[in-house]
Amino acid sequence: MVISKARDYVVDNLKYALSPRSIAVVGASRYSTKVGYKVIEGLYNWGYQGKIYPVNPRADKVFGLKAYPTVKHIEDDVDLVFVAVPAHIVKSVLEDCVAKKVKIVVIATSAFKEIGRGDLQNQLTQYCRDNELPLIGPNLVGMGSPYLNFNCGFIPYLPIKGPVAMISQSGANLLAALGTSQKDKFGMSFFVGLGNKADVDFCEFIEYANKDEHTKCISLYIEGLDCPEAFLDSCKKVQKPIVTIKVGGSKIGEKAAFAHTASENTGTNDAFYDDLFKEAGVIRATTWQEFLDVSLALGLMPKLKGDNIVMITNGGGSGLLSCDHFERCGVPLHELKEISEGLSQRIKAYMPMFGSPLNPVDISGTASPTQYKGAFTQAMRDPNVHGLLGSICPTAVTNVPAVTDVAIELWKTYKHLGKPFIMECQGGKECHEAILKLRENGIPAYPTAEQAVNAMIALYKQGQITDLNPLS
Amino acid sequence: MVISKARDYVVDNLKYALSPRSIAVVGASRYSTKVGYKVIEGLYNWGYQGKIYPVNPRADKVFGLKAYPTVKHIEDDVDLVFVAVPAHIVKSVLEDCVAKKVKIVVIATSAFKEIGRGDLQNQLTQYCRDNELPLIGPNLVGMGSPYLNFNCGFIPYLPIKGPVAMISQSGANLLAALGTSQKDKFGMSFFVGLGNKADVDFCEFIEYANKDEHTKCISLYIEGLDCPEAFLDSCKKVQKPIVTIKVGGSKIGEKAAFAHTASENTGTNDAFYDDLFKEAGVIRATTWQEFLDVSLALGLMPKLKGDNIVMITNGGGSGLLSCDHFERCGVPLHELKEISEGLSQRIKAYMPMFGSPLNPVDISGTASPTQYKGAFTQAMRDPNVHGLLGSICPTAVTNVPAVTDVAIELWKTYKHLGKPFIMECQGGKECHEAILKLRENGIPAYPTAEQAVNAMIALYKQGQITDLNPLS
């Protein structure tokens, strides 16, 4: 239901969704295959430190914990109520929540507006609003934070700690990001599914994320915005980078977005959202991979202060993929001689005669860690250079781990200069390991040239956005 | 140097580059860090079964093998001579090769036309042509085939066996593909670096690949075509799918392509190549990841015979990413009711009430392997359905390995129908393992929705191409 701007009581209470001192799970099941069991199992196994209250009128114990017939029967205060019971029972649960003065309620249950029960969803929402009880959902997968070992929902992964707040209407895509987090070292500050976002909306989580100390990038998977004005208003208050992927713009996607999260997209095509995001200072990704890649870069690196980007690689092919993609994205590379007098000569000291000191700089397939270090350092220290894109291609003589360490050392030494540093490492197992190690050391690293370029372009866009925003 | 069409003596002799009975390595080094040592070590360690002759006038033995002062000193016949000596010595090596009547010569050495020594390169090329000795290179990384345990060059990987012939001007990008092969189960029939392609050109390898029994898809990384007419002529003779990524189209890329492999792109912008590839019936990829993804699909799956593609997923978000991307690529999904009467009802039997039988079909996050099997089977058996895209999102109740087995069983059962089947599996470690297992069983599988869609679109394009080509 439409709101005109983010509500303070909601923003203030979102901390209870992401760091509750106590949680009641309504619909807690004794059967280990059921969602209502998985939620409690997940909370317990991932190491949640607060109190857990299973609510089930037909059980004395669930997962070894004392069960309560209703929320009202719980003796102590309850911050968060997580609801996983059928739609028609939810109203009475909400009444108990209001009576118990819980801080926030999350409805995981599906089968509301997305299957035609808009009236029921609206009634529940209005009831919550009348009682200033923020409602997250319905029709969602859960939320959590790795900083608190908090994983609340039916979610098989806890992400690793890091800078990205992931706010997603889709449970499946949120799970994909969480799975990627562990596997590919994609660090998150917190994550939340919004589902149908009947009450609590993107704008409110954006304002919460802006205040969250661990969040450096706010990432949004959107199926539809009911309140574009409220979204715009909140985004304009935010200094942190915001990146989004917005779906539902295709003819069949419009129907699918409604069937999935009851998201309404009639009359709001992709161009409408392009304009909205531009005005809001939000970077829009086109594909899921780009969404993740760009989020990581915006979370880990400062913005680019100009377009003097230098790329240094031991693979001419990788350089070519990159410079073509830079130009395709509207930010063509400049030759070294246009960027800084003498830089080309200084870098040439670290390459064989058949290398190429253009830009991309090809230090050749024979490049040693020492040559990498020399070339990287020359580029990074040059005051005219705004950002550095390094690339490792595994030839038979490339020492991938040693070059990885060179990159990490470089970043430690020159991080204070505030210039983005991104790495590409294309190839087999040792390259994947290099990417993980680089990411663990705060350097966005990617397996293909275009992914690394997309990441750098996003930092450039963020520079352009913040140039225009007096708050930044 | 320009040729007007593929030369028969070259095409006929390319078998000696990819399955030579004997190899002489000129520039074989005694020092284990040197390229000339790595080549012999690679041949030996990967299991090459033919004869290896190190050539080094200053050594008696290299890698424990008897060394020869020149190629002419080798007693037996030599099929392939691999040259890794400095540019100014190459001419005399070629003279020895001609005298010895070797079948084909590969020059790995760099520092020819790409650094301004065009005249030297042309002289060597003309000499080889005058003597009908095909020359591959110069300035390349090597070649090989997993079917023969043959890995000749400075290449740290041998790919796994499979359908894709990878023909690349860039060594670094070829290495990236080879590394990916092992790590991500990307199967290849053979691979070759072309480097500066002074003599042997793409057209000749395309005709060779068309005859190669293991090759099902011909994949080309191109930095520039000196002979577009010869390329066009050869492509038109080929029935197998051809996919390419062409770089060097950007302003700086044009210079970088010359500095890398002496490729000339003046006057041939991206639109020129778009037209050429269209006329040639070649599918063009934009990014390296798309190039790999599409190659795999074209290698493993039949072409799509129409655009009635059904997508079945347990994640509505994944479905939305997909249907938006299908439309963005110009092949929008049709609703089930438009595809086949009753299909929607038949599939509905395998989903809960809050699923969505649109297209994408969302069988919901609670979907069991049995429901997957039922829904997949209904779609695959429907005579109006041309192709199936399946998707697994790992919710807390998704049995990813069991659904993977359902997909593999489905493909075994219905492969004979000749309909493409592609899988997407987004998430963590178990999803990566599912992708590897699916690929091992001949099913193209990808970690993101857009990658899977790109693969399906390529099969659709291939259908359109072969509809127009009377040879197919």
Which residue does chain B place closest to A172, by CA atoms? Answer: B315
Q: Tell me what the mean pLDDT of segment A135-149 comes to.
A: 95
Same domain, yes or no: B211 and B322 = no
Q: E strands of A250-301, at which residues?
A: 283-284
Percentage of chain B modeled with pLDDT above 90: 89
Say if B141 falls within a structural domain.
yes
**What six digits make up the tokens of A103?**
């801080």
Model confidence pLDDT, tens digit, residues A271-306: 999 999 999 999 999 999 999 999 999 999 999 999
Amino acid A356 reads: S
Same domain, yes or no: B283 and B427 = no
Residue B468 has pLDDT above 70, yes or no: no
Cβ contact B327–A450 (<8 Å): no
- Output the domain CATH number for residue B246: 3.40.50.720
pLDDT of residue B471: 54
Model confidence pLDDT, tens digit, residues A17-65: 999 999 999 999 888 888 889 899 999 999 999 999 999 999 999 999 9
* Among A250, A277, A297, residue at a domain's last position: A297
Higher pLDDT, A105 or A356: A105
Residue in A251, A333, A353 nearest the CB of B115: A353
Model confidence pLDDT, tens digit, residues B422-433: 999 999 999 999
Rounded distance, CA A322 to CA B38, Å? 29
Cβ contact B172–A365 (<8 Å): yes
Distance from CA of A364 to the nearest CA of B (A): 9
Segment holding A61, helix H or strand E: strand A61-62
Cβ contact A260–B362 (<8 Å): yes
From chain B, pick out residues whose CB is under 8 angstroms from the CB of A183: 428-429, 432
Distance from CA of B246 to the nearest CA of A (A): 9
Q: In this predicted structure, which of A397-411, B52-66, B251-265 has the lowest mean pLDDT?
A: B251-265
Say if A1 falls within a structural domain.
no
Same domain, yes or no: A358 and A285 = no
Q: How confident is the model at residue A469 (pLDDT cuts 50, 70, 90)?
A: low
pLDDT of residue A111: 86
> B143 forms bridges with which residues in the sheet?
B152, B192
Which residue does chain B place closest to A398, by CA atoms? Answer: B156
pLDDT of residue A34: 83
Tell me, what DSSP letter sits at residue A280?
H
Distance from CA of A101 to the nearest CA of B (A): 30
pLDDT of residue A356: 87
* Among B297, B322, B346, residue at a domain's last position: B297
Residue in A170, A256, A356 nearest the CB of B358: A256
Percentage of chain A modeled with pLDDT above 90: 89
Q: How many domains does chain B have?
A: 2
Task: Confirm if B470 and B314 have CB atoms less than 8 A apart.
Answer: no
User: Which stretches within B329-383 are classed as H helix?
Assistant: 336-339, 343-348, 369-381
Residue in B253, B325, B365 nearest the CB of A320: B253
Distance from CA of B177 to the nearest CA of A (A): 7
From chain A, pick out residues whose CB is under 8 angstroms from the CB of B431: 179
Same domain, yes or no: B188 and B263 = yes
In chain B, how long is the greatest CA-to-CA distance? 80
Rounded distance, CA B412 to CA B401, Å? 17
Q: DSSP secondary structure string, A366-409?
A: T--HHHHHHHHHHHHH-TT--EEEEEE---TT--HHHHHHHHHH
Question: Which of A38, A44, A115, A175 to mutate to probe the B interface, most B CBs <10 Å?
Answer: A175
Q: Tell me what the mean pLDDT of segment B16-40 comes to.
A: 92
pLDDT of residue A353: 83
Residue A154 has pLDDT above 90, yes or no: no
Same domain, yes or no: B231 and B366 = no
Q: Give the domain extent around B379.
A: 303-468
Tokens 């070339």 correspond to what residue?
A375
Same domain, yes or no: B284 and B392 = no
Amino acid A189 reads: S
From chain B, pick out residues whose CB is under 8 angstroms from the CB of A366: 35
From chain A, pick out residues whose CB is under 8 angstroms from the CB of B335: 252, 255
pLDDT of residue A470: 55
Distance from CA of A49 to the nearest CA of B (A): 21
Rounded distance, CA B194 to CA B200, Å? 8
Rounded distance, CA A88 to CA A112, Å? 9
Which residue does chain B place closest to A250, by CA atoms? Answer: B324
Q: Is A313 helix (H, G, I), strand (E, B) or coil?
A: strand
Rounded distance, CA B421 to CA B377, Å? 12
Closest CA to B188 of B18, B20, B42: B18
Which residue does chain A place closest to B159, by CA atoms? Answer: A428
Residue A355 has pLDDT above 90, yes or no: no
Distance from CA of A271 to the nearest CA of B (A): 13
Same domain, yes or no: A182 and A213 = yes
| φ, ψ dihedrals at A437, nearest 5° | -65, -40
Say if A214 falls within a structural domain.
yes
Say if A368 falls within a structural domain.
yes
Say if A2 falls within a structural domain.
no
Rounded distance, CA A70 to CA B470, Å? 72
Rounded distance, CA B361 to CA B209, Å? 39
From chain B, pick out residues whose CB is under 8 angstroms from the CB of A317: 168-174, 176, 221, 223, 247, 260
Model confidence pLDDT, tens digit, residues B334-386: 999 999 999 999 999 999 887 888 999 999 988 999 999 999 999 999 999 99
Same domain, yes or no: A248 and A328 = no
pLDDT of residue A471: 54
- Output the domain CATH number for residue A447: 3.40.50.261
Burial of B23 (0-12, 13-18, 19+ CB in 10 A): buried
Same domain, yes or no: B56 and B171 = yes
Q: Tell me what the mean pLDDT of segment A402-409 comes to.
A: 98
Say if A3 falls within a structural domain.
no
Distance from CA of B447 to the nearest CA of A (A): 9
Note the ipTM here: 0.95
Rounded distance, CA A216 to CA A99, Å? 37
Segment holding B221, helix H or strand E: strand B217-222
* Among B232, B264, B297, residue at a domain's last position: B297
Contacts of A32 (CB under 8 A, 6+ apart): A38, A41
**What six digits make up the tokens of A426?**
């294309």
Task: Confirm if A119 and A149 have CB atoms less than 8 A apart.
Answer: no
Say if A100 falls within a structural domain.
yes
pLDDT of residue B470: 55
Question: Which of B175, B245, B284 to mutate to probe the A interface, most A CBs <10 Å?
Answer: B175
pLDDT of residue B466: 80
Model confidence pLDDT, tens digit, residues B106-143: 999 988 999 899 999 999 999 999 999 999 999 999 99
Q: Please, what is the average pLDDT of chain A?
A: 95
Same domain, yes or no: B423 and B277 = no
Cβ contact A321–B362 (<8 Å): no
Say if A86 falls within a structural domain.
yes
Edge-to-edge strands of the sheet including A387-392?
Answer: A356-357, A361-362, A309-313, A387-392, A421-425, A445-446
Same domain, yes or no: B171 and B25 = yes
Same domain, yes or no: A258 and A341 = no
